[in-house]
């Protein structure tokens, strides 16, 4: 016997039917004012960047595209070069002949809408050939300073280790202080000022060892290696198809001096935690205590590691520095600032191996 259909109990006045409330999102009608939660503030997530790097990303991506018209591969090298540009530092490119050291520097210079000059260093080069010299003007009866090729925004010094120490010393002041003092007058370089130098690590005839004080003025020393097999095949295909020339006119400037000044200002405002500053100091300090090193890195290396880490973080779209940024840049910043002991050199040790040992031995901040 089926149960009789009983009439539904009358609902209290003002009640809402159960079918409309169960499983439904609370609304202003279903919740009493006493139980309503306070409205959440409209804030961005914690992981959202506090600085807008969209413009920086667009400009650097345009530089990569322009250089990619000529250069095959070398992705990491280009990232480090862009890091140096944003960090306002000079770069020493070292590699065997034929790996596009000079070409890469020239292409990078072409993407910047700033003055460019190239100096080929030779054993007979004199400081006046780099800095400039005073010329006597008969019509005025006075000497006039004629500026040398160093007075440019991007200066490519090819085969820098071919000039003797006297000529190398002419670069000390201008690379560090961005000024040239000649005949008692100081001339200030225009911004930006970037030195890109190349050298061959294997050739000894007609070359000179760069002074440690000059090496310390380079933000990075970058090792330019061979391309991979796939990249070399791509190079050969381009040459075979008739597109293998180095027509630099295809590369256009995409970054002006004003743009670069603005991007560098963003980089300087990057956030760096106090424990990362301690981490940088510990890494550099270990180079002065390592038993395999005769010469450790100076405080200038610590500043270089900090500034380049801030630039790399911005290049990768972050407004904060991570330990991974510091570890990635440590070899480029330190390899030319340390000197192995004679015993370690005879054993076949390299600066990169020592830097790797130091990075692995120092505790990473959390």
Rg (CA), the chain: 30
CA distances for 22 relative to 15, 29, 35, angstroms: 13, 14, 17
- Indicate whether 49 pLDDT > 90: no
Average pLDDT over residues 271-293: 94
The whole-chain average pLDDT of the chain stands at: 85
More confident residue, 246 or 21: 246
Give pLDDT, residue 94.
93
Among 186-190, 201-205, 346-350, whose mean pLDDT is lowest? 201-205
Instruction: Give the pLDDT score at 52.
Output: 76
The confidence band for 175, taking pLDDT boundaries of 50, 70 and 90, is: very high
Cβ atoms within 10 Å, residue 174: 21
Band (pLDDT 50/70/90 cuts) for residue 17 is very low
342 or 4, greater pLDDT: 342
Residue 327's pLDDT band, with cuts at 50, 70 and 90, is: very high
From CA 122, how far away is CA 57, in angstroms rounded? 39
**Of 3.40.50.10090, 1.10.8.80, 3.40.50.2300, 1.20.58.100, which CATH number belongs to 270-366?**
1.10.8.80
Residue 107 CB neighbours (<10 A) = 23
Domain with CATH 3.40.50.300 in the chain: 49-261
Cα angle: 208, vertex 213, 215; to 5 degrees: 65
**Can you tell me the mean pLDDT for 245-268?**
88
Nearest to 262 by CA among 66, 109, 51: 51
- Stretch 335-360: mean pLDDT, rounded? 93
Which residues in the chain are classed under CATH 1.10.8.80? 270-366
Architecture of 49-261 per CATH? Answer: 3-Layer(aba) Sandwich (3.40)
- Candidate from 173-177, 208-212, 247-251, 332-336 with smallest mean pLDDT: 247-251
What pLDDT shows up at residue 31? 44
**Residues of the chain above pLDDT 70, percent:** 84
- Full-model pTM: 0.82
């Amino acid at each position: 016997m089926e149960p009789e259909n009983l009439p539904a109990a009358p609902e209290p006045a003002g009640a809402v039917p159960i079918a409309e409330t169960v499983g439904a999102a609370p609304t202003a009608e279903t919740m009493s004012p006493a139980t309503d939660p306070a409205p959440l503030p409209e804030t961005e997530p914690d992981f959202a960047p506090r600085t807008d790097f969209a413009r920086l990303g667009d400009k650097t991506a345009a530089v990569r595209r322009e250089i990619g018209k000529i250069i095959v591969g070398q992705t990491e090298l280009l990232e480090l070069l862009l890091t140096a540009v944003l960090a306002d530092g000079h770069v020493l490119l070292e590699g065997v002949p034929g790996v596009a050291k000079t070409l890469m520097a020239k292409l990078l210079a072409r993407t910047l809408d700033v003055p460019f000059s190239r100096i080929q260093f030779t054993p007979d080069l004199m400081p006046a050939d780099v800095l400039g010299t005073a010329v006597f003007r008969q019509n005025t009866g006075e000497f006039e300073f004629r500026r040398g090729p160093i007075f440019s925004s991007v200066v490519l010094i090819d085969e820098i280790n071919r000039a003797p120490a006297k000529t190398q010393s002419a670069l000390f002041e201008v690379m560090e202080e961005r000024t040239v003092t000649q005949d008692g007058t100081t001339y200030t370089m225009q911004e930006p000022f970037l030195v890109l130098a190349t050298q061959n690590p294997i050739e000894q005839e007609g070359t000179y060892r760069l002074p440690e004080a000059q090496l310390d003025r380079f933000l990075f020393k970058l090792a330019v290696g061979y391309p991979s097999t796939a990249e070399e095949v791509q190079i050969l295909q381009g040459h075979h198809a008739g597109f293998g020339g180095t027509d630099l006119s295809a590369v256009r400037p995409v970054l002006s001096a004003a743009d670069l000044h603005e991007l560098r200002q963003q980089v300087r405002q990057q956030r760096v935690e106090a424990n990362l500053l301690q981490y940088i100091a510990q890494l550099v300090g270990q180079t002065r205590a390592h038993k395999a090193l005769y010469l450790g890195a100076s405080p200038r290396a610590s500043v270089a590691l900090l500034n380049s880490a801030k630039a790399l973080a911005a290049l990768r779209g972050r407004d904060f520095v991570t330990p991974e940024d510091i570890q990635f840049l440590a070899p480029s910043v330190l390899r030319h600032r340390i000197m192995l002991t004679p015993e370690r050199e005879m054993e076949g040790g390299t600066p990169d191996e020592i830097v790797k040992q130091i990075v692995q031995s120092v505790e990473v901040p959390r």
